Structure formats: C-alpha cells, structure tokens
Structure 1
Amino acid sequence: MPKLPLPRLHQAAWLAVALLITAPSATLAEDGAATVYAPNPRLLVQGIPDVPQSLADRVGAYNDFRGHAFVDWHPSRREMLISHRKLGANTAQLYRLSSPLGEPEQLTEGADPVTRASYEPRQGRYIVFERSAGGSEEGQLYRLDGSGQPAQQLTPSEQRHELQTWLHRSSELIYSALPLDRTAKGGSRAEVNTSFWLLDPMKPEGRRKLAELPGGGWSLRSVSPDDKQAALIRYVSATEAELWLLDLRSGASRQLLPRPGSQDGPAFYAPAEFSRDGKQLWLTSDRFGEFLELARLTLANGDLRRVSSQIPWDISDVALSADGRRLAAIANVDGRRELRLFDALSLKELPRPALPAGSVTAAHFDAKGQQLALALNNARGPSQIVSLDPKGTLQTWTRPQVPAGIDVSQFGEQQIVRWRSFDGETISGLLSLPPARFAGKRPVIISIHGGPESQASVGFLGRNNYFLQELGIAIIQPNVRGSAGYGKRFLALDNGFKREDSVKDIDALLDWIATQPQLDASRVLVTGGSYGGYMTLAVSTHYADRIAGAIDVVGISHFVTFLQNTESYRRDLRRVEYGDEREPAMREFLERISPLSNAERIKKPLFVIQGKNDPRVPYTEAEQIVAKVRAGGTPVWYLRAENEGHGFQRKENQDYQFYATLLFLQQTLLQP
C-alpha cells in the first residue's frame, strides 16, 4: 500500500482518538487494577486483550438502538404483530400492538429470537410463530393461544421447517420441511427432498403431506382463492428460478414458466399472489430484460403481460389488496428501496405517496385492503412502522427508540460512489463520512456484504455509527460484481471461474480511495460476513500490503471444505454460484483460490468471528484459517459463540464482539 504523508496535526489528532479507547480512566478496583468487561460464559475468546469496563461504559449507548419490524396484521381488528427487542432484553420477541403508538404487549420470551409469525387468518384466535435454537436455523413452528400461556410445538424436531402460507377457506396452514444432516447416517446426505405439509394448528397430529419434491430450492408463495392449487418457486440460482403449480388435492406439480418444450431460455420467475378470481397470477421476472419486472400471468392461455417495464430496477415484495384492485411493490433503486403502487385492473402505476426519507423494507395490506403497513429505515434511526390508507394519509405506529445522549439528527446520509474496475466495469458502493469536525484524511473501513447475491443498501448503520461519530472513521460498503440490484448480467459476473474478479473490484476500490482527498489510503481495514468474510480473507491474501488489518465474520476460508460441510439442503444451490467441486478442473481452481491455500500471504492482523452452530458456513471454516494463519506467525484474534449460528443475534454476544472490534481497530487502524 502506498504510504501517504500525514500532517503532524493529523497524527496528533489520531493519537487523541486512539486514547479514547485506551485512556487510563477505567474504574479502579480496590487493588488498583482497572476493572474488566468480562465475556459471558458462552463465548470462546482467544488472543483478544481484556476489554476495559470504561470502554464498554463509553460505547454502551451505541449498542442500544431499538427498532420495530412488522410481522402481521390481525384479520379483523386494527391491530398488528411486531418484532422488537425491549430495553434490557437479549433478543427480539413478538409483541401485540393494539393501536398506533400504543404500548406493545409482549407475547413471547426466551433465549432465541422470534421474528416471523402469523395470526390465524379467519378470527385471529391464535398465533403461529417460528423459532430455532442457538442460531441453528432448525426452525420449528409453535402455536401461541394467548399471552402468558406456554407455546405448543407443532412440528417434529428432527427437520427444518418454515411457515409458507394459510388456506383461505379454513384455518389450515402449509409448511415446508427439510431433512438435516445430523439425522443422516455419516452426517451428510447425497440427496435432499423438500416436503410440503397441510396442518391444522389446533390438531397438529392430523397433518397431511401434500407433496415431496426433489432438491432444497422449493418455496410455496401463494394459494389460489378456491384452495385448490398453490404457486411454487423452484430456486436454481440467483439468475434462474422456475414457476410451478401444485395441486393441493392430488399433490401433482407442473411447471408453468419457463414453458416446458418452448424456446424460452432460463430466467428468474418469482410468484407473488393469485388474482382474487384465481384466473391470473402476479409475479416478478427478468425474462424481458436485465431487471425483475412486475408481470401478470393468465393461467388459461399462458399470456405473460409486463406491468413495470418503465421502472429500470428490480421489483420485489409484491402485495395485492383484499379487493384485488391495488398492488404494492418495492423498487430497488440503486440500493434505496422505494414504494411503488399500481392499479391491478388497468395495470398503470399510481402516483407515489410522500413518505419519510429512507428505504421501505416491508409492505403489507391488512385483511380489508384498506391499510398498507410499511416498515421504514433511514440513516437517522432504526426501523419504524407506519400505515398508509387509500387517500395517502400516513399514520405512525411505532417510533424508533434511540439511547439518551445520542443526537441521530446529526447522522449523515450515505452517498453513492462509483469507480472503474480492472476491466472497465463500473462498481458502486455506499460511502458514509464522519462529521466535519474530524479534520484531515480519514481512515477507512471497507465493509463487504454477504451473499454474494445480496446488496449494500441505504439504511441505518446501528452501532457502527460509533465509528463515524466518535472515531472519525469513514465506511465504504461496496457492491462488487455479483451483487444483486444491478441486473442479471452484473449478478453473474463472479460465477464459477470468474470468482476472483470480484476481489479485483476491491483492488480498484483501494486505488479509488487513494484519489480521494478526504480518505487515508494508508489506513484501510477490510471486513465482511459470510461471503463477505471470504472476500475479506481473499483481500488479505492478495493485498496484504494495502490494508492495516481484517475482520472476518462467519466467512468461507476454503470453497471445497465449505461445499462438503455446509448443510446438504444448501449444497447444490451453492454449487451453481461457486462451482461444482466434484469436477476436477473446478476443484483445482477452488483449491487454488481459497484463502486457506494462500494463508501464508496474510501478514496483517486478523480477527475471526464465528458461531458454533452455523449451518451455512460451519465453524470449521473459521478454525482452519485461524490455525494456519497463526502457524505463519501473523497475530489472530478468535471469537466463537457457542449459542450462535450465522452471525450473532444475542445482544450480549453482539456487545462483546463490538468492544473487541474497537480494541482491534485501536491496534490496527487507529495507530498514528
């Protein structure tokens, strides 16, 4: 990395910032020693220095932003379910909100979060929710009859379950089930099937299997108004998915799109909702171009009509009002999620309502189709919920809860920046700059999203605002090739043998940083989770001389061992993206580019964070890179949570991770 000269005043300022973390102002015990913030017993801590209690005290407020996520409308009352973490709690739980800005009534509690649930759709007599233990993602369904009563488990524990949808004419639901590797002989499965079940939550012993389909990429999206058929998506890859119909009586399934035997090439088809007469199906597809468009399929003749071709961005989260006259959808406009409304009869786009600044992360009509619940997120606060009526009137249901002493009105908006990569491809990202009071060139954290078929999007940065507001560190969230939101060509640019082209996009970003007068190219730290963890490790092997350190969170360290050890229901889906390790040429390529194979090149300090119960990227991916990098003499910090999976969900674990991250920044990025 080229070293840029730093003014003396700038160096002195950074020394002061570093001392914010390590200043000798920690509370003293009776023997004169500074008190320490101890990790909880479920955390394995290796190589990480003691966290001073004074650091935790200073940072604590930034760990307690608390928003609200919309879950479901009550079928007959103006009431909703929300998910929220209350003050002092460790995880998000279900709450009933009976009126706008009312006091939420807590419905669930426990060590594991609850974020997905649904009212019984006819009278709202009970609630069915999903929960998994310890981050394992082994989801189970539970019935909750009322607050204060114990929940009844509805599904057998030896499989992974997801609530799909309800029937219209009875209080029966459809859920999916996938087998787990821990129940297989030898700990792995050569084949995986997805089964769909019909269940009356009041009589779970009478559940009935509807169908069993090959593979792990199936999901049921909508049931026809007469309860005779359901729309299925068969996910093949981020750029290919099929639309199927399932007969709910016979269990027979048939493919609708792409039409079997036709000349239609692969495309992505995602069913949304049946029309109220059952004759048509609303869906999104990229069949006509680069982006996912809203479309309407006439089932009788297969006519597929484009609806949102005028919007050059991906459309998702399609919702149809109860009377079948209005559609709500979300357009992903360069990383900002915008609400779009359509007339379902004329197929014309309706005027856009005035909404608060930020992104719309969810849109759901109530049972009468009169109220549209919206979850909103912006740079100045976590998620809040509002409702929108047909006249365009907004009503606030929740307000984000911000810790005392933090003025979020001073938080800056994210800027979209772009740079040219090695092959001329334009890459974009989100840049967050610290307040103007921080003079001189600012150090930089490059934070790479997972997926890779995901996207860094505009929204609240949570506790990471501490980096900006208190330490003066700039944050860049790149959307390297392979990211969603920029068309299917861009989405496929990193597939298979093109994997390291995305790593080169970060090399080009480092070049761009060096041209920016407000950024310090001599002090850059890279971090990321999941696939972003792989990218972090890959950047550490290729560009060790250009970074100050790296933080890998639940990242892939070796593609072959990852594909061999990830849960079997995910394996074939990941092979489409990364390549099939059973093919000799691909296996040799994956072996060669994997960070573990190049661990001797990692020369800058590394911090690895992992959940022991991760079914996606097994903890062995973390432990093998930790061992090999340490063997090469490079310092490695390692943090493993025994009760977490693919990322930490418990506040006490998140807090310690954040404090340790600040210590790591002090030793790498914040040194003058």
Structure 2
Amino acid sequence: DDKWLVMIRYISRTETEVWRMDVASGKRERLLPGSDSAPRATYFGLEFSPDGSRLYLTTTARSEFQQLAEYRFATRALRVLSSKIAWDADGIALSHDGRRLAAVFNVDGRDELRLFDPASGKELARPKVSSGQISGLKWHEKRVGELAFTLNSPQSPATIFSVDTVTGAVQRWTTADTAGVDPASFRDAEIVRWKSFDGRTISGVLTLPPPRFMSQGPRPVIVAIHGGPEAQATVNFNGRFNYLINELGVALLEPNVRGSSGYGKTFLDLDNGVKREDSVKDIGALLDWIATDPRLDAKRVMVQGGSYGGYMVLASLVHYSDRLRGGIDVVGISDFVSFLNNTESYRRDLRRSEYGDERDPAVRAVLDQIAPLANAGKIRAPLLVVHGKNDPRVPVGEAKQIVQKVRANGTPVWYLEADNEGHGFARKANADFYFYSMVAFIERYLLSDELR
C-alpha cells in the first residue's frame, strides 16, 4: 500500500540491520535484530508478501550461512525456511501471487536455483538449470509460475533464460556475443580442494586448457586470487582469460582462501586483522597441492590478482618467490598502514574492521611487519604492476612505492599506470593495452620454455 519502506543498514560484511520507515511521517524503527543483545548477523534480499504482513529475506542470525527466512510484522517472529541447506542463499524473489519463493544457493561456487512454498516453508521441485552464476530473478506478472533469470556460465557470458516452475521447461531468450568464437570451445570448470597449514579444507575453481595442450604434458598454472577480500571465485564465464586457457594452454586456478564469502561467517572472519597472513599460507598449501596433480606443472606457476588480490600477489611473492615464475599485481595494496591513511575517508572505518585499526599500536606493529613493502627484498620473481592514477580506493602510491623498492633490488618489474583510470581499467583501449601487456609478461616469464 506504499505506506512503509524497509531498508538495510550496512555496518560491515558480517553485520547489517533491517529498518522500517513510515513513508508519510519519516518515523523509523529497527526490526532486525530484535534487541541490542542479539548476536551479530547479516540480513539481505528484502521482499514484502503481497498482503504486506510478512517480509522474506536471507540472514545469518541462526546459522553460519545466509539462510532463507520469513519475518512476520505482527509477531516480530523470524522463521527459517532453509535450515537443511548448509550454503548461502544469495538472492531471492517472491512470485506476485505469493505462492512461490525462488532462491539462489551458492553451493561451493556453483549456483543452484531452488523453489519454496512460503506458506509451509517446504521446498518444491527443483528446476533443472545449467551450472554457473544465477542472478536477476524476476517473476512474470501475468504468466503465473514463470521465472526469468540471468545465467553466467563457462560457455557464455550473461544470458537471459526463463523457467516454467510448473512444467520445468527452460527457455533461452538471449544469446551473448562471443565475437565469433564458438562458445562450445570454452572449457568447463571443476572444484578442487586441498588441506591448508591448520588442517582446514580450502577450495578453488580450476579450468584446464583443451585436450591438444593437455596431451603435451603438465600445464603451467596462473593462480588468480580474487579481491574483497570477502569476494568469491565461482564457476562463471572467464572472459579474456579464455585466451590464456584456450590459446596459450594455461590452467587457471582461482582459490577461495580463508576470508572468502560462501563458506560460512566463521570462515569469513578467519583472515581479519592480525590473522591476515593465514590466507597467504593457504596459497602456500595450494602450491603444495599443485605439485601432487599430474595435470599441472608446479615448476611453472604465476600469481595474479586485483585490489586485495593484488596484496595477495605481493605477499605470495614475499613468501614463495622461489616457487613462482612471477606475479601480476593489479591495483593492489602494498602496505596496509599507508593504504588506510590514504584511502578515501568514507571507506576508512569499513576497511579497518577488516584489516585492523592501524591506530592501535599492537595492530600497527603486525601490519608493519607483514607489509609487502617492508619485505620487498624477498620478492625475487618478476613482477607486473598495473594501476590507475585516479584510484580513490587503493591510491596509486601503493603501486609506485612497491615498484621502486622491488626494482632497487634488481628484480625485473614492469609497471603500467593509466592517467585516466581509477580502481581498475574501465576504458576499452586501456583494458586492451593492459591485457596485451599481461600476455607478453606471461609469455616472457611463464611460457618461455615452450616458446623458445
């Protein structure tokens, strides 16, 4: 009836609140959590029921994972609908008649579309949808039971489908442009797992090159580390990286080190503050695992990553230069103290909650000790650094200071700085130049044995 507005107050990656506002008066009240003493939790994906009596959402209030739940305004009661599913519900959509609730569950990096009866809370027959990332859920206003969604899969970038949730029939509505390349040639991915230093299982997404390369022996590997740090590597379209896989014969391995989302809120917090380097140890354990897989060449491994992933590249080079052919640091952090001092003020406290408060002497001592900048002398493998001059998140000084220090030690460093870019390269001409530079770097330092 347009009288009420519900909203999310974002505090941190592990804490949000749900508020309701009277549109006419502007009066606001907090709905969730119900009290100040309630455990810290997140709430996302708000959907009103047709009669306005209930709210459907996802929350970690009663679980390690983001669960599908129902909130009743009259009783202030929260009912969990997906308690038997030990994975995050990433997106939800309630049908216009209120009889079907769709939810996307992130199952170890592969999305699953599931349906629920909101009244009983029971799961309905599961639609058969191809593997990949599912987003943009939207119910048809007139054709009851028809649900549209976007699928991003290894074989295709974002493509629109719909599914008849009654018959199970799936229909494709769009075909993404792959610039003349046969999408069937794009390789599928697999989930791999390894044990880290503390016995914890870490997983990642592995994409192998075509058989014509695999027949030549173990393949060189690029370990592409995501940013965030609370992002997650998932099964999706690899974009330009398909060139590295299909044309250069490189295996792409994307790890979800501790601190990644999708594996529970405890896992999400395992890299916070002074525990930062535990996630770097997960990369060391990954290098050990690569040596056990006969499909991969442990003597030809390179690390790549952007933003926080750029820090992980630098830290990996500090600790494992003797096991790496090189690293590609894109808009990465080289020193957490200088980063926290110079990042835009609107982000500073949010980042302190993740990386630690540099104003605390004990925390600062740890951040100083683990900074790649302070350990630049240990970086002995070739390095490509890429940064935008106008980056408000990770200022360009993070790049310049690490380039200067590593070069001073005689280590080969390639540096690419764009005058008209920020946190990443958005302009096509710049993105193309960066990609060509990355390919040249990979050919020089990772594939030189094959190209001779």
Q: Please give the residue correspondences for 1:557-596 in structure 2 after superposition, counting only pairs within 5 Å.
A: 557-596=334-373
Contact 1:323/1:368, CA 8 A, preserved across alignment = no
**Is structure 2 residue 162 aligned with structure 1 residue 387?**
yes
Q: Separation in 2 of the partners of 1:252 and 1:562?
A: 39
Tell me how far apart the structure 2 counterparts of residues 624 and 367 of structure 1 sit (CA, whole Å).
55
- Amino acid of the structure 2 residue aligned with 1:620: G
Deviation at 1:228, TM superposition (A): 2.6
| 1:631 Cα deviation from its structure 2 partner | 2.3
Give the match for residue 32 of structure 2.
257
Q: Deviations over 1:420-444 (max 9, x none)?
A: 1111111111111112222112111
User: Does structure 1 retain, via aligned residues, the 8 Å contact 2:111–2:131?
Assistant: no
Identity %: 58
Deviation at 1:378, TM superposition (A): 1.4
Deviation string for 1:481-538 (max 9, x for gaps)? 0111111111111111110000000000111111121211111100101111110011
Q: Which runs of 5+ in 1 are unaligned?
A: 1-225
Q: What is the aligned counterpart of 1:396 among 169, 172, 183?
A: 172
Q: Contact conserved, 2:105 with 2:111, CA < 8 A, in 1?
A: yes
Does the CA-based 8 Å contact 2:131-2:235 persist in structure 1?
no
Which residue, 214, 217, 226 being the options, matches 1:449?
A: 226
How far is 1:271 from its partner? 4.7
The code of the aligned residue for 1:387 comes to S
- How far does the alpha carbon of each residue in 1:572-592 deviate from its partner, in whole angstroms, 9 at most, with x for none? 111111111111111111111
Q: Does 1:490 align with 2:263?
A: no
1:228 aligns to 2:9 (yes or no): no
Q: Which residue of 1 aligns with 2:281?
A: 504
Number of aligned residue pairs: 445
2:124 aligned residue: 350
Equivalent residues of 1:421, 1:508 under 8 A apart? yes
Amino acid in structure 1 at the alignment position of 2:156: G
Q: What secondary structure sits across from 1:462 in the alignment?
A: coil
TM-score (norm 2): 0.94
Which one of 235, 241, 247 corresponds to residue 470 of structure 1? 247
The equivalent of 2:64 in structure 1 is 290
In structure 2, C-alpha distance between the alignment counterparts of 1:380 and 1:238, rounded to whole Å: 31
SS of 2:298's equivalent in the other structure is: strand
Structure-2 residue corresponding to 1:86? none
Matched, 1:376 2:136: no
Cα distance, 1:615–1:372 mapped onto 2, change above 3 Å: farther
- Kept after mapping to 2: 8 A contact 1:359/1:376: yes
Query: Which has the bigger relative contact order, CA under 8 A and spacing at least 6?
Result: 1
Q: What do residues 16-49 of structure 1 show as CA deviations (whole Å, max 9, x unaligned)?
A: xxxxxxxxxxxxxxxxxxxxxxxxxxxxxxxxxx
Letter in 1 for 2:95: S
Amino acid in structure 1 at the alignment position of 2:110 = R
State the shift of 1:367 in Å.
4.3
Query: Which whole-Å CA distance do the structure 2 matches of 1:420 and 1:323 have between them?
Result: 47
Task: Find out whether 1:242 has 2:5 as its counterpart.
Answer: no
Task: Report the AA paired with residue 388 of structure 1.
Answer: V
Q: What root-mean-square deviation, in Å, do the aligned CA atoms of Structure 1 and Structure 2 show?
A: 1.7
Q: In the alignment, which residue of structure 1 is the partner of 2:96?
A: 322
Q: Which residue of 1 aligns with 2:187?
A: 412
Question: Can you give the 5+ residue segments of structure 2 that lack an aligned partner in the other structure?
Answer: none
For the Cα contact (< 8 Å) 2:135–2:151, is it kept in 1? yes
Do the aligned residues in 2 keep the contact of 1:322 with 1:369 (CA within 8 Å)? Answer: no
AA in 2 matched with 1:421: S
Give the 3-state SS of the residue equivalent to 2:448 in structure 1: coil
CA distance in 1, matches of 2:173, 2:433: 32
Structure 1 length-normalised TM: 0.64
Alpha-carbon separation, structure 1, partners of 2:379 and 2:300: 17
Q: Distance in 2 between matches of 1:246 and 1:471?
A: 55
Find the partner of 2:393 among 612, 616, 623.
Answer: 616
199, 207, 232: which one aligns with 1:424:
199
Q: What is the CA distance between 1:451 and its match in structure 2?
A: 0.7
Q: What letter corresponds to residue 396 of structure 1 in structure 2?
A: R
